[in-house]
């Protein structure tokens, strides 16, 4: 059973109504690592719907969280906004300076991320946390937390192992300058929390409005009850022993709500570079990624991997490997045979689940005749005109008639990828007009003789992939060079590398006279 289907089955024991949640803090540009949380939750939501549960998927934006420091992409003018809620400070302009005409800081970073979610087929119910506080919906939960302050304090200290200040309070009010920093609570009379800030100014915050917020561990627990959340996958930092999940579960019960069961996922990390970090610049953005990668491949990357396993990600060779795997699965889905060994049944169910969860639309039929990513990569590099590519794909039987919008978009993404720094160098294809002297020097006499014989054979060959393939094999059989040496000679002469795309396919896309002249070595 696929991991999302297994999670849905467990959730069904809780009841018919489910609310699946994920959340994010819009403190800066998002990276593709954030998509794992989003897609993990969304796939469980889909799986719940697939078995007839009444499921909703909410995406909670922690817009009441404060700006914690001046990040590297911000101007020093943001220093005055440290400690202020992200929803209440201005967005940065291209120079990183605060500019109120651009809207709020939180909206500025959230908008492109939501656009990325739309591209990947995710349409959650958006919940802005500052709006929740402003609506008064949190008032009763804030009051309950304050009333049971000592009980909650004991939970956090005993489970997390850290000691809280004697005057710790489960509500952080905003001071006279609009910041959370340096504000001390001095009293509480429902609905007002009385405080004194770092400037010595005394005031009060109304817990029915967005004049403060609960600390993270309490806030997380409170919103489980508010939104009736039954499942919220969290990263391993929150799921670590003594982390937010371990304290959140008992706090939620103190506040009167049965919490969701602990569910932890591993991170996506850049292959060879460790976990992604926005502050360290070790990231690849969702918009950037989806500008070059078909969205179903990104979905498949998450769908194929158990939550407990980390994902190594790069936008080079790995994408071709993942695409190959997806394309094989999509073109030849496994069948469920009740008479086969249980191990094979499990593998088939898991693969079919991953394939189902990879589709952009839940009811979308699989494209049975997709153009392989590798083949499209080759065509996009040797054909600058899109119409030539469509003609080639028609001749090869990959498409019939005019290309659909999805294929046109896929070609556009492929060209973006090829033009970017992310495209793997060993997949770059540039057809030579003349074999470089350095390769001729490296080749043996049998290899050179093989190329000249191949030129003669190709000169009279029908210019189709099968005929070209036959001519290559027949010439190899008569050559003193080994097959490996023959293939190496062809690739070096044609693209200056020792390996590349399927050679008969590549040659068939080139001009016959140009190839014959190239292999003549004249």
For residue 366, being part of any structural domain is answered with: no
Q: Is the confidence at residue 367, as pLDDT, over 80?
A: no
Domain match, 94 and 124 both: yes
Domain match, 337 and 463 both: no
Q: Is the confidence at residue 158, as pLDDT, over 80?
A: yes
Domain match, 9 and 91 both: yes
Arithmetic mean of pLDDT over the chain: 92
Average pLDDT over residues 62-66: 97
pLDDT at residue number 281: 43
Q: Is the confidence at residue 488, as pLDDT, over 60?
A: yes
Domain match, 19 and 125 both: yes
Nearest CA to 395 among 444, 294, 465? 465
Q: Is the confidence at residue 271, as pLDDT, over 80?
A: no
What does the alpha-carbon distance between residue 164 and residue 386 come to, in Å, rounded to a whole number?
64
For residue 387, with 0-12 CB atoms within 10 Å meaning exposed, 13-18 middle and 19 or more buried, which class applies?
exposed
Q: Is the confidence at residue 54, as pLDDT, over 50?
A: yes
Lookup result for tokens 């094979």: 344
The domain boundary, picked from 405, 427, 449, lies at 427
Q: Name the least confident of 10-19, 125-134, 278-287, 506-515.
A: 278-287
What is the domain extent for residue 98? 3-138+215-265
Q: Is the confidence at residue 277, as pLDDT, over 50?
A: no
For residue 306, being part of any structural domain is answered with: yes
**Percent of the chain whose pLDDT exceeds 90:** 74
What Cα–Cα distance (Å) separates residue 99 from each residue in 93, 94, 104?
6, 10, 9
Domain match, 37 and 113 both: yes
Average pLDDT over residues 437-450: 94
Domain match, 123 and 62 both: yes
Q: Is the confidence at residue 163, as pLDDT, over 50?
A: yes
pTM value? 0.89
Q: Is the confidence at residue 359, as pLDDT, over 90?
A: yes
At residue 133 the predicted structure's pLDDT band, cuts being 50, 70 and 90, is very high
- Give every strand in the sheet of 192-196, ordered side by side: 184-189, 192-196, 202-206
Average pLDDT over residues 78-91: 98
What Cα–Cα distance (Å) separates residue 426 from each residue in 179, 282, 297?
52, 23, 21
The domain boundary, picked from 409, 427, 445, lies at 427
For residue 259, being part of any structural domain is answered with: yes
For residue 184, being part of any structural domain is answered with: no
The tens digit of pLDDT for each residue in 376-431 reads 999 999 999 999 999 999 988 889 888 988 889 889 989 988 998 888 888 899 99
Q: Kind and range of the H or E element at 313?
A: strand 311-313
Q: Is the confidence at residue 365, as pLDDT, over 90?
A: no
Phi/psi of residue 374, each to 5°? -65, -40
For residue 415, being part of any structural domain is answered with: yes
Domain match, 307 and 448 both: no
What does the alpha-carbon distance between residue 272 and residue 82 come to, in Å, rounded to a whole number?
34
Q: Kind and range of the H or E element at 23?
A: strand 17-24
Domain match, 77 and 123 both: yes
pLDDT at residue number 286: 67
pLDDT at residue number 468: 96
Domain match, 324 and 353 both: yes
For residue 406, being part of any structural domain is answered with: yes
pLDDT at residue number 361: 84
The stretches of 1-86 forming alpha helices (DSSP H) are 3-12, 33-50
pLDDT at residue number 76: 97
Q: Name the least confident of 85-89, 181-185, 439-443.
A: 439-443
The tens digit of pLDDT for each residue in 193-230 reads 999 999 999 999 999 999 999 999 999 999 999 999 99
What does the alpha-carbon distance between residue 27 and residue 409 come to, in Å, rounded to a whole number?
31
The enclosing domain of 502 has a CATH number of 1.10.10.350
At residue 370 the predicted structure's pLDDT band, cuts being 50, 70 and 90, is confident
The enclosing domain of 14 has a CATH number of 3.40.50.620
What does the alpha-carbon distance between residue 116 and residue 114 come to, in Å, rounded to a whole number?
5
Q: Is the confidence at residue 369, as pLDDT, over 60?
A: no
State how many domains the chain has.
4
Q: Kind and range of the H or E element at 391?
A: helix 386-395
Domain match, 241 and 124 both: yes
What does the alpha-carbon distance between residue 350 and residue 343 come to, in Å, rounded to a whole number?
11
For residue 397, being part of any structural domain is answered with: yes
Q: Is the confidence at residue 276, as pLDDT, over 70?
A: no
- Higher-confidence position of 320 and 254: 254
Domain match, 96 and 244 both: yes
The tens digit of pLDDT for each residue in 222-252 reads 999 999 999 999 988 888 999 999 999 999 9
Contacts of 489 (CB under 8 A, 6+ apart): 443, 447, 448, 450, 451, 481
At residue 275 the predicted structure's pLDDT band, cuts being 50, 70 and 90, is low
The residues that bridge with 23 in the sheet, in sequence order, are 60
For residue 29, being part of any structural domain is answered with: yes
What does the alpha-carbon distance between residue 43 and residue 444 come to, in Å, rounded to a whole number?
56
Token representation of residue 155: 């939970």
Domain match, 403 and 344 both: no
Q: For the residues of 86-152, what is the DSSP string, one character each?
A: GGGSEEE-TTS-EEEEEEEHHHHHHHHHHHHHHHTT--PEEEEHHHHHHHTTTHHHHHHHHHTHHHH
What does the alpha-carbon distance between residue 73 and residue 250 come to, in Å, rounded to a whole number?
38
């Amino acid at each position: 059973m696929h991991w999302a289907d297994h999670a849905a089955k467990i959730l069904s024991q809780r009841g018919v109504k489910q609310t699946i949640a994920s959340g994010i803090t819009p403190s800066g540009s998002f990276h593709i690592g954030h998509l794992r949380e989003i897609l993990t939750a969304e796939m469980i939501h889909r799986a719940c719907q697939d078995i007839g549960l009444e499921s909703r998927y909410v995406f909670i934006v922690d817009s009441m969280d404060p700006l914690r420091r001046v990040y590297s992409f911000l101007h020093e003018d943001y220093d005055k906004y440290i400690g202020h809620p992200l929803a209440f400070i201005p967005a940065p302009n291209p120079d990183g300076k605060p500019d109120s005409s651009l809207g709020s800081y939180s909206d500025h970073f959230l908008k492109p991320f939501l656009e990325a979610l739309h591209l990947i087929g995710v349409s959650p119910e958006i919940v802005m946390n500052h709006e929740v506080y402003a609506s008064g919906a949190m008032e009763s939960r804030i009051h309950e937390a304050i009333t049971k302050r000592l009980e909650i304090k004991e939970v956090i200290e005993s489970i997390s192992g850290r000691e809280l200040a004697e005057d710790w309070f489960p509500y952080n009010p905003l001071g006279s300058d609009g910041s959370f920093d340096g504000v001390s609570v001095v009293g509480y009379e429902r609905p007002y929390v009385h405080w004194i800030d770092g400037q010595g100014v005394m005031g009060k915050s109304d817990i029915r409005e967005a004049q403060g917020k609960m600390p993270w561990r309490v806030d997380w627990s409170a919103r489980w009850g508010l939104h009736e959340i039954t499942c919220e996958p969290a990263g391993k930092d929150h799921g670590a022993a003594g982390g937010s999940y371990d304290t959140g579960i008992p706090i939620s019960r103190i506040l009167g709500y049965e919490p969701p069961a602990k569910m932890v996922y591993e991170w996506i990390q850049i292959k060879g570079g460790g976990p992604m970090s926005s502050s360290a610049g070790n990231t690849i953005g969702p918009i950037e990624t989806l500008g070059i990668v078909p969205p179903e491949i990104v979905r498949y990357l998450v769908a194929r991997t158990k939550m407990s396993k980390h994902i190594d990600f790069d936008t080079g060779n790995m994408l071709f490997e993942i695409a190959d795997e997806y394309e094989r699965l999509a073109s030849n889905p496994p069948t469920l045979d009740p008479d086969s060994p249980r191990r094979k049944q499990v593998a088939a169910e898991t693969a079919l689940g991953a394939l189902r969860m990879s589709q952009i639309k839940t009811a979308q039929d699989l494209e049975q005749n997709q153009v392989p990513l590798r083949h499209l990569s080759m065509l996009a590099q040797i054909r600058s005109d899109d119409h030539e590519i469509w003609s080639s794909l028609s001749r090869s039987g990959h498409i019939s008639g005019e290309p659909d919008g999805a294929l046109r978009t896929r070609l556009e993404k492929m060209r973006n990828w090829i033009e970017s720094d992310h495209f793997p160098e060993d997949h770059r294809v540039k057809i030579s007009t003349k074999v470089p002297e350095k390769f001729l020097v490296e080749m043996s006499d049998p290899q050179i003789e093989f190329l000249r014989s191949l030129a003669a054979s190709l000169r009279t060959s029908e210019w189709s992939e099968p005929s070209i393939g036959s001519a290559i094999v027949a010439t190899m059989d008569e050559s003193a060079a080994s097959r490996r040496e023959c293939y190496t000679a062809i690739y070096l002469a044609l693209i200056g590398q020792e390996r590349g795309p399927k050679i008969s396919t590549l040659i068939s896309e080139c001009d016959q006279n140009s190839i014959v002249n190239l292999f003549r070595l004249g």
